Structure 1
Protein backbone atom coordinates (compact mmCIF):
# COMPACT_ATOMS: atom_id res chain seq x y z
CA UNK A 1 0.00 0.00 0.00
CA UNK A 2 1.22 3.53 -0.76
CA UNK A 3 1.16 5.66 2.39
CA UNK A 4 2.06 9.37 2.51
CA UNK A 5 2.82 10.80 5.96
CA UNK A 6 2.81 14.55 6.62
CA UNK A 7 4.85 15.47 9.68
CA UNK A 8 7.05 12.43 9.10
CA UNK A 9 9.86 13.62 11.39
CA UNK A 10 7.67 14.38 14.43
CA UNK A 11 7.15 12.21 17.49
CA UNK A 12 4.07 10.47 16.10
CA UNK A 13 4.75 10.82 12.39
CA UNK A 14 8.19 9.23 12.66
CA UNK A 15 6.74 6.21 14.42
CA UNK A 16 3.96 5.85 11.87
CA UNK A 17 6.62 5.91 9.16
CA UNK A 18 8.71 3.28 10.99
CA UNK A 19 5.72 1.00 11.58
CA UNK A 20 4.61 1.29 7.95
CA UNK A 21 8.10 0.40 6.75
CA UNK A 22 8.30 -2.70 8.95
CA UNK A 23 5.03 -3.88 7.38
CA UNK A 24 6.39 -3.51 3.88
CA UNK A 25 4.41 -0.48 2.73
CA UNK A 26 5.61 2.07 0.17
CA UNK A 27 6.12 5.17 2.32
CA UNK A 28 6.50 8.83 1.35
CA UNK A 29 7.54 11.06 4.25
CA UNK A 30 6.67 14.75 3.93
CA UNK A 31 8.33 17.41 6.07
CA UNK A 32 8.61 21.17 5.93
CA UNK A 33 12.28 21.11 6.83
CA UNK A 34 13.42 18.43 4.41
CA UNK A 35 15.22 16.68 7.28
CA UNK A 36 16.62 13.18 7.06
CA UNK A 37 14.20 10.26 7.14
CA UNK A 38 14.85 6.52 7.53
CA UNK A 39 16.27 4.49 4.69
CA UNK A 40 13.52 3.19 2.46
CA UNK A 41 11.33 6.29 2.78
CA UNK A 42 10.81 8.54 -0.20
CA UNK A 43 11.47 11.96 1.35
CA UNK A 44 9.59 15.02 0.16
CA UNK A 45 9.97 18.59 1.37
CA UNK A 46 6.56 20.26 1.17
CA UNK A 47 3.94 22.19 3.13
CA UNK A 48 0.56 20.60 3.86
CA UNK A 49 -1.02 23.92 2.95
CA UNK A 50 0.25 23.82 -0.65
CA UNK A 51 -2.74 22.64 -2.69
CA UNK A 52 -0.82 21.65 -5.82
CA UNK A 53 1.68 19.62 -3.82
CA UNK A 54 -1.11 18.01 -1.76
CA UNK A 55 -2.92 17.02 -4.93
CA UNK A 56 0.21 15.40 -6.38
CA UNK A 57 0.95 13.53 -3.15
CA UNK A 58 -2.62 12.22 -2.84
CA UNK A 59 -2.73 11.17 -6.49
CA UNK A 60 0.19 8.83 -5.83
CA UNK A 61 -1.08 7.47 -2.49
CA UNK A 62 -3.69 5.07 -1.21
CA UNK A 63 -3.62 6.70 2.23
CA UNK A 64 -2.62 10.17 3.39
CA UNK A 65 -1.74 10.51 7.09
CA UNK A 66 -1.80 13.98 8.64
CA UNK A 67 0.57 13.88 11.60
CA UNK A 68 0.92 17.65 11.68
CA UNK A 69 -0.36 19.53 14.69
CA UNK A 70 -1.18 22.99 16.01
CA UNK A 71 1.13 25.09 18.10
CA UNK A 72 0.99 24.42 21.83
CA UNK A 73 0.20 28.12 22.29
CA UNK A 74 -2.60 28.08 19.71
CA UNK A 75 -0.81 30.81 17.77
CA UNK A 76 -1.01 29.16 14.36
CA UNK A 77 -4.67 28.15 14.59
CA UNK A 78 -5.69 29.40 11.18
CA UNK A 79 -2.63 27.95 9.49
CA UNK A 80 -3.15 24.48 10.99
CA UNK A 81 -6.84 24.35 10.09
CA UNK A 82 -6.07 25.64 6.61
CA UNK A 83 -3.54 22.85 6.15
CA UNK A 84 -6.14 20.24 7.12
CA UNK A 85 -8.63 21.77 4.69
CA UNK A 86 -6.05 21.67 1.93
CA UNK A 87 -5.32 18.00 2.50
CA UNK A 88 -9.03 17.12 2.66
CA UNK A 89 -9.93 19.10 -0.43
CA UNK A 90 -7.19 17.52 -2.54
CA UNK A 91 -7.55 13.87 -1.56
CA UNK A 92 -8.91 12.51 -4.80
CA UNK A 93 -9.48 8.80 -4.19
CA UNK A 94 -7.05 8.55 -1.27
CA UNK A 95 -8.10 7.94 2.32
CA UNK A 96 -7.25 10.54 5.00
CA UNK A 97 -6.21 9.59 8.54
CA UNK A 98 -5.78 12.50 10.92
CA UNK A 99 -3.68 12.39 14.07
CA UNK A 100 -5.97 14.23 16.45
CA UNK A 101 -5.86 15.33 20.06
CA UNK A 102 -7.30 13.85 23.24
CA UNK A 103 -8.96 17.04 24.50
CA UNK A 104 -12.13 16.39 22.51
CA UNK A 105 -12.65 12.92 24.04
CA UNK A 106 -15.82 12.67 26.11
CA UNK A 107 -16.22 11.66 29.76
CA UNK A 108 -19.83 11.62 30.98
CA UNK A 109 -20.79 13.61 27.91
CA UNK A 110 -18.27 16.41 28.51
CA UNK A 111 -15.03 17.09 26.63
CA UNK A 112 -11.81 16.61 28.55
CA UNK A 113 -10.67 20.08 27.49
CA UNK A 114 -13.67 21.63 29.25
CA UNK A 115 -12.78 20.07 32.61
CA UNK A 116 -11.63 22.74 35.11
CA UNK A 117 -8.59 20.57 35.90
CA UNK A 118 -7.47 20.30 32.27
CA UNK A 119 -3.84 21.60 32.18
CA UNK A 120 -3.60 25.19 30.97
CA UNK A 121 -0.40 24.34 29.11
CA UNK A 122 -2.30 22.15 26.66
CA UNK A 123 -5.64 23.99 26.50
CA UNK A 124 -5.08 26.17 23.42
CA UNK A 125 -3.72 23.20 21.48
CA UNK A 126 -6.63 21.00 22.62
CA UNK A 127 -9.28 23.53 21.61
CA UNK A 128 -7.82 23.77 18.12
CA UNK A 129 -7.72 19.97 17.96
CA UNK A 130 -11.41 19.88 18.86
CA UNK A 131 -12.13 22.40 16.12
CA UNK A 132 -10.23 20.18 13.69
CA UNK A 133 -12.42 17.23 14.68
CA UNK A 134 -15.55 19.29 14.00
CA UNK A 135 -14.20 20.20 10.57
CA UNK A 136 -13.26 16.63 9.67
CA UNK A 137 -16.64 15.31 10.84
CA UNK A 138 -18.27 17.96 8.69
CA UNK A 139 -16.78 16.32 5.61
CA UNK A 140 -19.39 13.58 6.00
CA UNK A 141 -19.42 11.25 3.02
CA UNK A 142 -17.52 13.66 0.78
CA UNK A 143 -14.19 12.11 1.82
CA UNK A 144 -12.90 8.81 3.18
CA UNK A 145 -11.58 9.95 6.56
CA UNK A 146 -10.71 8.69 10.04
CA UNK A 147 -9.79 10.90 13.00
CA UNK A 148 -7.57 9.13 15.54
CA UNK A 149 -7.30 10.67 19.02
CA UNK A 150 -4.61 9.28 21.31
CA UNK A 151 -5.04 8.58 25.01
CA UNK A 152 -4.75 11.69 27.21
CA UNK A 153 -1.04 10.94 27.72
CA UNK A 154 1.04 9.91 24.71
CA UNK A 155 4.83 9.77 24.80
CA UNK A 156 7.74 7.74 23.45
CA UNK A 157 7.89 4.28 24.97
CA UNK A 158 7.75 0.61 24.13
CA UNK A 159 6.05 -1.08 21.21
CA UNK A 160 3.93 -3.79 22.83
CA UNK A 161 1.64 -4.32 19.86
CA UNK A 162 -1.41 -4.37 22.11
CA UNK A 163 -3.98 -1.65 22.78
CA UNK A 164 -7.67 -1.04 23.46
CA UNK A 165 -9.94 1.16 21.35
CA UNK A 166 -13.06 3.23 21.93
CA UNK A 167 -15.01 5.64 19.74
CA UNK A 168 -15.39 8.90 21.67
CA UNK A 169 -14.45 8.15 25.28
CA UNK A 170 -10.93 7.43 26.53
CA UNK A 171 -9.91 3.78 26.26
CA UNK A 172 -7.38 4.38 29.03
CA UNK A 173 -5.02 7.03 30.36
CA UNK A 174 -1.87 6.45 28.33
CA UNK A 175 -0.45 5.05 25.12
CA UNK A 176 3.09 4.89 23.81
CA UNK A 177 3.75 6.66 20.51
CA UNK A 178 4.93 3.29 19.22
CA UNK A 179 1.62 1.55 20.00
CA UNK A 180 -0.31 4.52 18.63
CA UNK A 181 1.50 3.85 15.34
CA UNK A 182 0.59 0.16 15.57
CA UNK A 183 -3.07 1.08 15.98
CA UNK A 184 -2.82 3.57 13.10
CA UNK A 185 -1.39 0.96 10.74
CA UNK A 186 -3.93 -1.63 11.86
CA UNK A 187 -6.69 0.84 10.97
CA UNK A 188 -5.07 1.54 7.60
CA UNK A 189 -4.78 -2.13 6.77
CA UNK A 190 -8.12 -3.29 8.20
CA UNK A 191 -10.47 -0.29 8.48
CA UNK A 192 -12.88 -0.39 11.41
CA UNK A 193 -13.55 3.33 11.86
CA UNK A 194 -14.25 4.77 8.41
CA UNK A 195 -15.75 8.26 8.67
CA UNK A 196 -15.50 8.07 12.46
CA UNK A 197 -13.29 9.21 15.29
CA UNK A 198 -11.63 6.61 17.50
CA UNK A 199 -9.08 6.50 20.25
CA UNK A 200 -6.67 3.92 21.65
CA UNK A 201 -4.80 3.28 24.89
CA UNK A 202 -2.51 0.66 26.40
Structure 2
Protein backbone atom coordinates (compact mmCIF):
# COMPACT_ATOMS: atom_id res chain seq x y z
CA UNK A 1 0.00 0.00 0.00
CA UNK A 2 0.91 3.63 -0.41
CA UNK A 3 0.14 5.44 2.84
CA UNK A 4 0.33 9.09 3.86
CA UNK A 5 0.89 9.44 7.60
CA UNK A 6 0.15 12.79 9.26
CA UNK A 7 1.73 13.43 12.64
CA UNK A 8 4.44 10.93 11.87
CA UNK A 9 7.06 12.06 14.39
CA UNK A 10 5.07 11.61 17.60
CA UNK A 11 5.33 8.66 19.98
CA UNK A 12 2.57 6.71 18.24
CA UNK A 13 3.12 8.06 14.74
CA UNK A 14 6.72 6.94 14.47
CA UNK A 15 5.76 3.43 15.57
CA UNK A 16 3.00 3.26 12.97
CA UNK A 17 5.56 4.34 10.38
CA UNK A 18 7.99 1.64 11.50
CA UNK A 19 5.32 -1.05 11.49
CA UNK A 20 4.08 -0.11 8.03
CA UNK A 21 7.60 -0.01 6.56
CA UNK A 22 8.43 -3.38 8.13
CA UNK A 23 5.42 -4.82 6.29
CA UNK A 24 6.65 -3.47 2.98
CA UNK A 25 4.33 -0.50 2.58
CA UNK A 26 5.36 2.79 1.00
CA UNK A 27 4.95 5.50 3.63
CA UNK A 28 5.01 9.26 3.13
CA UNK A 29 5.54 10.81 6.55
CA UNK A 30 4.23 14.32 7.08
CA UNK A 31 5.11 16.55 10.03
CA UNK A 32 5.85 20.18 10.74
CA UNK A 33 9.56 19.43 10.97
CA UNK A 34 9.77 17.18 7.92
CA UNK A 35 11.88 14.77 9.96
CA UNK A 36 12.02 11.12 8.85
CA UNK A 37 10.87 9.23 11.96
CA UNK A 38 12.30 5.90 10.81
CA UNK A 39 14.46 4.70 7.92
CA UNK A 40 12.75 3.67 4.70
CA UNK A 41 10.09 6.38 4.52
CA UNK A 42 9.63 9.47 2.38
CA UNK A 43 9.34 12.51 4.62
CA UNK A 44 8.11 16.02 4.02
CA UNK A 45 7.24 19.12 6.03
CA UNK A 46 3.65 20.34 5.98
CA UNK A 47 0.91 21.66 8.22
CA UNK A 48 -1.80 19.00 8.52
CA UNK A 49 -4.36 21.79 8.51
CA UNK A 50 -3.29 23.00 5.05
CA UNK A 51 -6.00 21.32 2.98
CA UNK A 52 -4.48 22.00 -0.42
CA UNK A 53 -1.02 20.84 0.59
CA UNK A 54 -2.27 17.65 2.24
CA UNK A 55 -4.56 16.89 -0.70
CA UNK A 56 -1.62 17.21 -3.07
CA UNK A 57 0.50 14.90 -0.90
CA UNK A 58 -2.28 12.33 -0.54
CA UNK A 59 -3.23 12.14 -4.21
CA UNK A 60 -2.40 8.73 -5.67
CA UNK A 61 -2.13 7.02 -2.28
CA UNK A 62 -4.27 4.14 -1.05
CA UNK A 63 -4.92 5.51 2.44
CA UNK A 64 -4.32 8.41 4.77
CA UNK A 65 -3.47 7.78 8.42
CA UNK A 66 -3.43 10.44 11.12
CA UNK A 67 -1.58 10.42 14.44
CA UNK A 68 -2.39 14.01 15.30
CA UNK A 69 -2.80 15.38 18.82
CA UNK A 70 -4.62 18.43 20.21
CA UNK A 71 -2.62 21.53 21.16
CA UNK A 72 -0.54 20.96 24.28
CA UNK A 73 0.55 24.56 24.88
CA UNK A 74 -2.01 25.30 27.56
CA UNK A 75 -4.55 26.79 25.16
CA UNK A 76 -8.11 25.51 24.78
CA UNK A 77 -7.67 22.41 22.56
CA UNK A 78 -11.17 21.46 21.47
CA UNK A 79 -12.02 23.87 18.67
CA UNK A 80 -8.54 23.88 17.08
CA UNK A 81 -8.37 20.09 17.05
CA UNK A 82 -11.83 19.76 15.55
CA UNK A 83 -10.94 22.32 12.88
CA UNK A 84 -7.74 20.41 12.11
CA UNK A 85 -9.62 17.16 11.58
CA UNK A 86 -12.23 18.86 9.44
CA UNK A 87 -9.41 20.17 7.25
CA UNK A 88 -7.91 16.69 6.99
CA UNK A 89 -11.23 15.21 5.89
CA UNK A 90 -11.58 17.94 3.25
CA UNK A 91 -8.05 17.15 2.04
CA UNK A 92 -8.71 13.41 1.83
CA UNK A 93 -11.85 14.07 -0.19
CA UNK A 94 -10.05 16.46 -2.51
CA UNK A 95 -7.28 13.89 -3.05
CA UNK A 96 -9.80 11.24 -4.12
CA UNK A 97 -8.71 8.87 -1.34
CA UNK A 98 -11.48 6.92 0.36
CA UNK A 99 -9.60 5.31 3.28
CA UNK A 100 -8.75 7.25 6.44
CA UNK A 101 -7.55 5.68 9.71
CA UNK A 102 -7.29 7.88 12.79
CA UNK A 103 -5.36 7.57 16.05
CA UNK A 104 -8.05 8.43 18.56
CA UNK A 105 -8.38 8.94 22.28
CA UNK A 106 -9.47 6.69 25.14
CA UNK A 107 -11.60 9.16 27.08
CA UNK A 108 -14.76 8.49 25.09
CA UNK A 109 -14.66 4.73 25.75
CA UNK A 110 -17.49 3.45 27.93
CA UNK A 111 -16.75 2.03 31.37
CA UNK A 112 -20.46 1.24 31.83
CA UNK A 113 -23.50 1.77 29.60
CA UNK A 114 -23.73 5.50 28.97
CA UNK A 115 -20.72 6.30 31.15
CA UNK A 116 -17.47 7.37 29.51
CA UNK A 117 -13.99 7.20 30.98
CA UNK A 118 -13.43 10.96 30.74
CA UNK A 119 -16.42 11.64 32.98
CA UNK A 120 -15.37 9.33 35.80
CA UNK A 121 -14.22 10.66 39.18
CA UNK A 122 -10.47 10.66 39.32
CA UNK A 123 -9.89 11.20 35.60
CA UNK A 124 -6.74 13.35 35.45
CA UNK A 125 -7.71 17.00 35.29
CA UNK A 126 -4.72 17.90 33.12
CA UNK A 127 -5.79 15.38 30.48
CA UNK A 128 -9.49 16.24 30.41
CA UNK A 129 -9.28 18.95 27.72
CA UNK A 130 -7.36 16.67 25.38
CA UNK A 131 -9.77 13.80 26.02
CA UNK A 132 -12.76 16.00 25.27
CA UNK A 133 -11.06 17.23 22.09
CA UNK A 134 -10.66 13.63 20.91
CA UNK A 135 -14.29 12.95 21.80
CA UNK A 136 -15.43 15.92 19.72
CA UNK A 137 -13.46 14.58 16.78
CA UNK A 138 -15.03 11.13 17.10
CA UNK A 139 -18.48 12.75 17.09
CA UNK A 140 -17.49 14.59 13.91
CA UNK A 141 -16.23 11.46 12.17
CA UNK A 142 -19.52 9.76 12.89
CA UNK A 143 -21.15 12.32 10.59
CA UNK A 144 -18.78 11.55 7.70
CA UNK A 145 -20.60 9.18 5.39
CA UNK A 146 -18.53 9.41 2.21
CA UNK A 147 -15.16 8.11 3.49
CA UNK A 148 -14.14 4.72 4.88
CA UNK A 149 -12.76 6.14 8.12
CA UNK A 150 -11.85 4.10 11.18
CA UNK A 151 -11.14 5.69 14.56
CA UNK A 152 -8.76 3.58 16.66
CA UNK A 153 -8.90 4.29 20.40
CA UNK A 154 -6.04 3.17 22.62
CA UNK A 155 -6.77 1.83 26.10
CA UNK A 156 -6.35 3.97 29.22
CA UNK A 157 -2.57 3.48 29.20
CA UNK A 158 -0.28 3.47 26.16
CA UNK A 159 3.49 3.80 26.32
CA UNK A 160 6.63 2.63 24.51
CA UNK A 161 7.34 -1.04 25.08
CA UNK A 162 7.61 -4.31 23.20
CA UNK A 163 5.81 -5.60 20.12
CA UNK A 164 4.19 -8.90 21.10
CA UNK A 165 1.55 -9.16 18.38
CA UNK A 166 -0.93 -10.29 21.04
CA UNK A 167 -3.86 -7.98 21.75
CA UNK A 168 -7.62 -7.80 21.68
CA UNK A 169 -9.93 -5.63 19.62
CA UNK A 170 -13.12 -4.09 20.93
CA UNK A 171 -15.69 -1.46 20.08
CA UNK A 172 -16.93 1.39 22.25
CA UNK A 173 -16.17 -0.23 25.63
CA UNK A 174 -12.91 0.18 27.53
CA UNK A 175 -10.94 -3.08 27.50
CA UNK A 176 -9.10 -4.24 30.62
CA UNK A 177 -7.04 -7.33 31.39
CA UNK A 178 -7.74 -9.90 34.11
CA UNK A 179 -6.11 -7.62 36.68
CA UNK A 180 -8.30 -4.69 35.73
CA UNK A 181 -5.56 -2.81 33.91
CA UNK A 182 -6.35 -1.15 30.57
CA UNK A 183 -3.07 -0.88 28.67
CA UNK A 184 -1.02 -1.63 25.57
CA UNK A 185 2.45 -0.88 24.24
CA UNK A 186 2.68 1.72 21.50
CA UNK A 187 4.28 -0.97 19.35
CA UNK A 188 1.30 -3.33 19.63
CA UNK A 189 -1.12 -0.45 19.12
CA UNK A 190 0.76 0.32 15.89
CA UNK A 191 0.47 -3.32 14.81
CA UNK A 192 -3.30 -3.23 15.30
CA UNK A 193 -3.50 0.12 13.53
CA UNK A 194 -1.64 -1.13 10.45
CA UNK A 195 -3.79 -4.29 10.48
CA UNK A 196 -6.80 -2.01 10.10
CA UNK A 197 -5.14 -0.03 7.33
CA UNK A 198 -4.50 -3.23 5.42
CA UNK A 199 -7.82 -4.97 6.00
CA UNK A 200 -10.37 -2.15 6.16
CA UNK A 201 -12.29 -4.45 8.51
CA UNK A 202 -14.14 -1.73 10.44
CA UNK A 203 -15.14 1.09 8.10
CA UNK A 204 -17.05 4.06 9.53
CA UNK A 205 -16.76 2.96 13.11
CA UNK A 206 -14.61 3.25 16.23
CA UNK A 207 -12.56 0.32 17.48
CA UNK A 208 -10.24 -0.04 20.44
CA UNK A 209 -7.26 -2.28 21.13
CA UNK A 210 -5.74 -3.48 24.41
CA UNK A 211 -4.19 -6.47 26.15
TM-score normalized by the length of structure 1: 0.95
- Contact (CA 8 Å) 2:78, 2:136: kept in 1 or not? no
Name stretches of at least 5 consecutive residues in structure 1 with no aligned partner. Answer: none
Q: Distance in 2 between matches of 1:123 and 1:74?
A: 13
Aligned partner of 1:90 in structure 2 is 91
Name stretches of at least 5 consecutive residues in structure 2 with no aligned partner. Answer: 177-181
Q: Distance in 1 between matches of 2:85 and 2:141?
A: 8
- Contact (CA 8 Å) 2:29, 2:36: kept in 1 or not? no
- SS at 2:142 equivalent: helix
Q: CA RMSD in A?
A: 1.3
Q: Distance in 1 between matches of 2:58 and 2:35?
A: 21
CA-CA distance at 1:74 after TM superposition: 5.5
**Number of positions where the alignment pairs a residue of Structure 1 with one of Structure 2:** 201
Runs (4+) of structure 1 exceeding 6 A deviation are none
Aligned partner of 1:40 in structure 2 is 40
Aligned partner of 2:142 in structure 1 is 137
Alignment partner of 1:171 out of 168, 175, 180: 175
Aligned partner of 1:198 in structure 2 is 207
1:28-177 matches, within 5 Å, as: 28-72=28-72, 73=74, 75-91=76-92, 92-109=96-113, 110-139=115-144, 141-172=145-176, 173-177=182-186
Aligned partner of 1:24 in structure 2 is 24
TM-score normalized by the length of structure 2: 0.91
